[in-house]
A and B are shown apart, each in its own frame.
Chain A
Amino acid sequence: MAVNVYLWASLKKFTNDKDILKIEATTIGELVSVLRRDFPGLKPFLDSGISFAINGELSNPNSNETIPDEAEIYIMQKLKGG
C-alpha cells in the first residue's frame, strides 16, 4: 500500500528534488527501510533523531507500528521541549 511521505524541502537534494514521496510500506519500520534503501543521502537525517506525524498525531518512531491506509506522514526532527 502506498502512502504519502512529506519531507522538508531542505532534504530535496537527497530525494531527486521531491519533497513528497510515494512509498510502499505497511509499517513505520518498512517505510524507514525503503527510504534508507532508495535515498541513501537521507541516512544522516534518519539517524539524527526523528519524530513522525501520522495523520496529525505526533509521536516517537515505532518501527512495529502499522501505517493506516491513506495515511499522511510527516517526518521531522525529533521534538522535545523544555
Chain B
Amino acid sequence: MAKDDITKSFKFIGTRPNRPDGFEKVTGRAKYGADISAVGMLHGAVLRSPYAHARIKSINFEKAAKLDGVKAIITRDDFPKDREGEPLKLLENTIAGEIAYYDGHAIAAVAATSVFTAKEALKEIEVEYEVLPHVIDVDEAMKPDAPIVRENAGDFSVPEGSSPNVASYIEFGRGDIANGFDKADIVKSGLFKTEAAHQGYIEPHACMAQLDHNGQGEMWVCTQGHWYIRQMCSEVLGLEASKLCVTPSEIGGGFGGKTTIFIEPLALALSKKSGGRPVKIVMSRSEVLRATGPTASASMDVKIGMTKDGYLTAGCVEFRMQGGAFGGSPVSEALQCAFASYNMDAVHHIGFDVLANRPRAAAYRAPGSPMAAFAVESLIDEMCTDLNLDPIDVRLKNAVAEGSKSSYGPKFKKIGLIETLEATKEHPNYSIELGVNQGRGVAAGYWMNHGGETSVSVSLAEDGSVNVSVGTPDIGGSRASIALMTAETYGIPYDSVRVNILETGALGFNEPTHGSRATLASGKAVYEAANQTIAEMCTRVAKKWQIDPDAVYWENGYAKPAGPNAGDFSPISIKQIASEMDQTGGPIAGHHEASIRGVGHSFGVHIADVEVDPETGRVTVLRYLVAQDAGRAVHPSYVEGQFQGGAVQGIGWALNEEYVYGEDGCLQNAAFLDYRIPVASDLPNIDTIIVEVPNPDHPFGVRGVGETGIAPPLPALANAVAAATKVRLRSLPMSPTKVLKALKTGNDGC
C-alpha cells in the first residue's frame, strides 16, 4: 500500500508536530545524568586495572583513607559474598574480586568531597598485581594453547573437547545441506571479520546515588531502563528492590550500552559506607571506552550455494564471537539474522560465544545483526558479481514474505522485505551514473524487534488534557510518538497530551527502551489504558443522559449518542467531562500492564555509493539511501532520524571504528580522537524511504524501527568498495591503510 493511502485515514499519526520536550533540549534546560547535585554530595572515582589479566594479590588503601576529604573507600569486600549465576557475573564485572579480567576492570572506588581529592586518593591506593597471560582475539582465544580467561566457563551447551574459552555453543538448521550445495551452480565460501565497536553515545555514564543503612536508597541515572538498574543493583548488593527508587534522567544516547550497570552499584556502596551521603560518579570518555560494554568482535565462516539465475540453495555459517571475559556476545541473535531475509530449504548455523580479556559486551543496536549482515550480504554480493546478476533482483527472488519459514524456524507473519526491495530499486539513487573509482553497493538487513514487559497509566487532568505515564526513557522522540498515538485514540489535539517518564516506584516493571520497543510497546499499552478511560467517560455520560452505556460512543474527543434511537443529546467534550469528574464519581484514569506481544519484524535495504582514492585508500561516501519497513511511521521525522542515525553508526563501523589493542592487551584508542566516529564532514545527506507494511498485531500498525538501520551499512559499504576497486575486503573496518594494502596486494584483510 502506498504511504499516502494509509496515513489519510489518521488525523494525527503520520504528522510531524514539534516534540513536547524540544524546548528543554534546545535551551540546555533538560537534565541529564551528570546535571544533578545535592547537599552533602560526594564525588566518586574508580581505580581500574592497568593490566588485561592479573591476579589481585593485595589492596592497601590506608594512605588514601587519610587524605583530607576522603569519606569512603570500597573494594569487592564491601559486596555480598554469596552471589551466583547472572548476579555474580554482574558483580564480577562491576568490581573485580581476585582477578582483574580486562584493562579498565574496576578494582576499588573512592568517595571524597571533591573530584580532585577522589582522584588523588586513587593514586594513593596500593595494589599488588601478578600479571597473567592474556588473550584478545576471538580466534586466538579458541586455540588449544590460548590463556584460559576463566576456569569452567563453558555452560551446558558446550560440546566436549571445545576450547576452555568457549562459554556457550549454539547449533540449529534444517534441510539437506549436501544436497543443497549439489543443486547449486556456484558455491562460494569466505572468512569475514569484524572488530569491536562502541555504541559511542556522547553522554558518558553518570549517576548520583544515595543508600542508607536500612537499605533504603535513591538513584538518579542516565539509563535506557531504570527497572533494570533497580533489579541489577539490588541483585548485586543484596538489597530489597522496592526500597531502591530509581529515577531516569534524560539520556544522551544509549543504543543498548545503557541497559545494564557499570558504576551504579559502586555509587550505592560508596554512599552506604560514607554514612548515607549522596555520591555522584561520572565516567570519563576513556573509562567509557575501556570499561563499559562495547559490542563483540567476530570471525565468521560463510558458505552459500546459488543457481546461475540467482536462487539460493543452501547456506552454512559458523560464527565465533568474543563478548569479553564473562560471555554474552550476541552470537545466537547473529545466527538468527544471518539468512533471515531469504527463503532457503537448507541452512545450518553454528555459533561459539568465546571469552577474551576484554570488557563485558553490552547490547549495541540490533546486536549481532550487523556482523551477520556483513558476512552473508558480502558473500551474496560476490556471487551476484560472479554471475553478473542484479543484486536487488537476486534478493527479490529469494526474499521471505508472509508465511515463509524463517531461517531460524518460526513462520513469518506479515513482513515488508519485498516492498522495501522494490522501493529501493525504483529510487533514483539506484540509477545515478557513477564515475571513475566510484562504486555502488546494496545490502539488506533484519532485526526481530521486541515487545516485553510494559506498564503504563493514563489520566485525565481537570482541564481535559491527558497525562500519560510511561516507563520507557525517551532516547529519540518517543514522547512525541506516544503523544500522537494518544491524541489519535482520544481524537484530541496533540498539544493537550503530556507524556511523562516516571520513576520505578510509580509503575509496574518496564523493560528498557531497547529492542526498538518504546513506540511499539508503550504505545500499545497506552492505547489500552486510554480506551479504559474512554469507556469510563462514556459510562458517565450515559448516566447523565440516563441511557445504556452501549448507546454512547466516542469520537474526536466527544462522547456522542450512538444513533437517533439513543436520544437527541448534544455531544459532550472531554473537557467538560473532566471538569465535572469530581462530581460524577471521581478521578478518571486507566492503566495497562502486559508482556507486549505482536512485535513486527523490520527489514531494511540500503544503497551506498562511494569513491575510493587509490593514493590514500580513503573511502568517501558520496550518496546513501536507507529504505526500511516501519509498519506505520507515527512521527515520520523521528522514523527518518532512526534510519539515518543507524546508518551512520554502521558507516562508522564499516570505515573507521575499531578497538585497537596493544601487545599488552590494553586499549590503545580510548578517546574520540583515535576511536574515530563519523563527523559531519565525512558524510553526505542520508536519503530515506519509509516503507509502510502495517503490522497487523498493533493497533496503529507500528513496527519497531530503531535498530535495523545499523546492519545493512557494513555490507553495503564493503560491496560498494568492491565495486569501485574490484578488490574485495572481508575485514572491517575498511580503514585507509587496509584499503591501500588491498589495492596493492589483493589482500582481503583477514
Residues 41-60 of A contacting B (Cβ, < 8 Å): 41, 44-45, 48, 53, 55-60
**Chain B, 155-178, contact with A by CB distance < 8 Å: what is the 0/1 string?**
111000000000001111100000
Which of B172, B257, B451, B599 makes the CB contact (< 8 A) with A10? Answer: B172
Cα–Cα distance between A74 and B405 once the two chains are bound (Å): 12
Residues 38-80 of A contacting B (Cβ, < 8 Å): 41, 44-45, 48, 53, 55-60, 62, 72, 74, 76-77, 79-80
Write out the residue numbers on chain B whose beta carbons fall within 8 Å of the beta carbon of A56.
Answer: 406, 410-413
Q: Is B256 an interface residue when CB atoms closer than 8 A count as contact?
A: yes
Which of B172, B451, B707 makes the CB contact (< 8 A) with A9? Answer: B172
Check A57–B413 contact: CB distance below 8 A: yes
Write out the residue numbers on chain A whose beta carbons fall within 8 Å of the beta carbon of B707.
Answer: 81-82
Q: Is B364 an interface residue when CB atoms closer than 8 A count as contact?
A: yes
In the complex, the chain A residue whose C-beta lies closest to that of B256 is A82
Write out the residue numbers on chain B whose beta carbons fall within 8 Å of the beta carbon of A6.
Answer: 409
Q: When A58-B448, A59-B451 are in contact, do A79 and B333 touch as well, CB less than 8 Å?
A: yes
* Total chain B interface residues with beta-carbon distance under 8 A: 47
Write out the residue numbers on chain A whose beta carbons fall within 8 Å of the beta carbon of B71.
Answer: none
Which of A14, A53, A77 makes the CB contact (< 8 A) with B409? Answer: A53
Q: Is A2 an interface residue when CB atoms closer than 8 A count as contact?
A: no
In the complex, the chain A residue whose C-beta lies closest to that of B514 is A81
Check A80–B259 contact: CB distance below 8 A: yes
Q: When A9-B173, A10-B157 are in contact, do A74 and B410 touch as well, CB less than 8 Å?
A: yes
Cα–Cα distance between A62 and B593 once the two chains are bound (Å): 13
Check B171–A10 contact: CB distance below 8 A: yes
Write out the residue numbers on chain B whose beta carbons fall within 8 Å of the beta carbon of A55.
Answer: 410-411
Write out the residue numbers on chain A whose beta carbons fall within 8 Å of the beta carbon of B599.
Answer: 57-58
A78 to chain B, nearest CB (A): 10
Which of B171, B173, B448 makes the CB contact (< 8 A) with A79? Answer: B448
Check A81–B517 contact: CB distance below 8 A: yes
Cα–Cα distance between A76 and B256 once the two chains are bound (Å): 21
Cα–Cα distance between A74 and B598 once the two chains are bound (Å): 16
Interface size grouping (class) on chain A:
20 to 34
Q: Is B457 an interface residue when CB atoms closer than 8 A count as contact?
A: no
Cα–Cα distance between A63 and B264 once the two chains are bound (Å): 33
Write out the residue numbers on chain A whose beta carbons fall within 8 Å of the beta carbon of B257.
Answer: 82
Q: Is A11 an interface residue when CB atoms closer than 8 A count as contact?
A: yes
Cα–Cα distance between A49 and B514 once the two chains are bound (Å): 17
Check A10–B411 contact: CB distance below 8 A: no
Write out the residue numbers on chain A whose beta carbons fall within 8 Å of the beta carbon of B490.
Answer: none
Write out the residue numbers on chain B whose beta carbons fall within 8 Å of the beta carbon of A53.
Answer: 409-410
Check A80–B411 contact: CB distance below 8 A: no
Check A79–B410 contact: CB distance below 8 A: no
In the complex, the chain A residue whose C-beta lies closest to that of B225 is A80
Check A82–B255 contact: CB distance below 8 A: yes
Q: Is B408 an interface residue when CB atoms closer than 8 A count as contact?
A: yes
- The 7 closest A-B CB pairs, nearest first, are A82-B256, A81-B515, A82-B363, A53-B410, A10-B171, A8-B172, A44-B156
User: Given contacts A10-B157, A76-B336, could you give 9 more A-B pairs where the C-beta distance is less than 8 Å?
Assistant: A19-B172, A56-B412, A57-B697, A59-B595, A76-B409, A79-B515, A80-B259, A81-B448, A82-B255
Mark B residues whose CB is within 8 Å of A. 155-157, 169-173, 199, 255-257, 259, 332-333, 336, 362-367, 406, 408-413, 447-453, 511, 514-517, 595, 597-599, 697, 707
Residue pairs across A and B with Cβ atoms less than 8 A apart, 14 shown, are A9-B173, A10-B157, A11-B157, A14-B156, A53-B410, A60-B451, A60-B595, A74-B410, A77-B332, A80-B511, A80-B514, A81-B449, A82-B362, A82-B365
